[in-house]
Structures are given as structure tokens and as C-alpha cells.
Amino acid sequence: MKFRKISLPYSLAWWAFIFPLGAYTSATLKIASLLSSPTIKVFGVLLYGMLFVLWLITGVRTVIHLTSSLNGGSHSSARSPVIHRAGWRHRARSGYLGRNKNGV
């Protein structure tokens, strides 16, 4: 059996999936508590474990993304259109992170 490595490019939008999962996990554990259901509690704990792993992966990838883009690195996540439009990479390389040419 062959497995392919799947590479999912990083985006700050990953956080948009993390926060609803946290709310769902919290609600699941609350329902388990209110209904005194061990089955729902086990499901909630599994969700919590998955949430923690996804939060950790997303947090690490965010730090890599930010350090790479501010240092003008060649990391694939440094090619963010938002960072490119704002000119952050250019100012980071030149050592200037203040206002842009429009005063923003």
C-alpha cells in the first residue's frame, strides 16, 4: 500500500476552523455534564484532544509564517498576498516596520 504525503499550504484562515471547533467541544462537554452521559463525555474529550493538536499545529505554523515573512524568507507561506500588498516583506528586509507610503 502506498501513501502520498499531502501538503496543505498554510493560511491564517486555519484559525477560522479552530475557534468553532473549540465552541463545539465546550458545548459537547457541557451537554455531557448536564445529561450525566459518559458516552458524550468520551466524545467531548476526544474532541478536546483533537482541538489541542490542531491548535498546536496551527500555532506553530503561524509562528513559522510570521517569522519567515518578516525575515523575507523563501518559505512558501511567506507569499501571502496580504503581506505582499502591504509591503511588509520589503520593510522587514530594510529594517523599517513603521508607516507605509500612505501614512498607515
- Distance between CA atoms of 42 and 18, rounded to whole angstroms? 20
CB 55 within 8 A of CB 18: yes
Query: Is 44 within a domain?
Result: yes
Q: Which residues contact 47 (CB under 8 A, 6 or more apart)?
A: 21, 24, 25, 28
**Residue (of 59, 6, 13) closest to 67 by Cα position:** 59
Query: Is 103 within a domain?
Result: no
Query: Is 78 within a domain?
Result: yes
Query: Is 5 within a domain?
Result: no
pLDDT at 72: 73
Query: Is 7 within a domain?
Result: no
CB 87 within 8 A of CB 100: yes
pTM: 0.58
Q: Is the per-residue pLDDT at 78 higher than 50?
A: no
Q: Is the per-residue pLDDT at 103 higher than 50?
A: yes
Q: How many domains does the chain have?
A: 1
Condensed to tens digits (0 to 9), the pLDDT of residues 12-32 reads 888 898 999 999 999 999 999
pLDDT at 54: 92
Query: Is 8 within a domain?
Result: no
Query: Is 48 within a domain?
Result: yes
Q: Domain residues for 35?
A: 14-94
The percentage of the chain sitting over the pLDDT mark of 70, rounded to a whole number, equals: 68
pLDDT at 10: 79
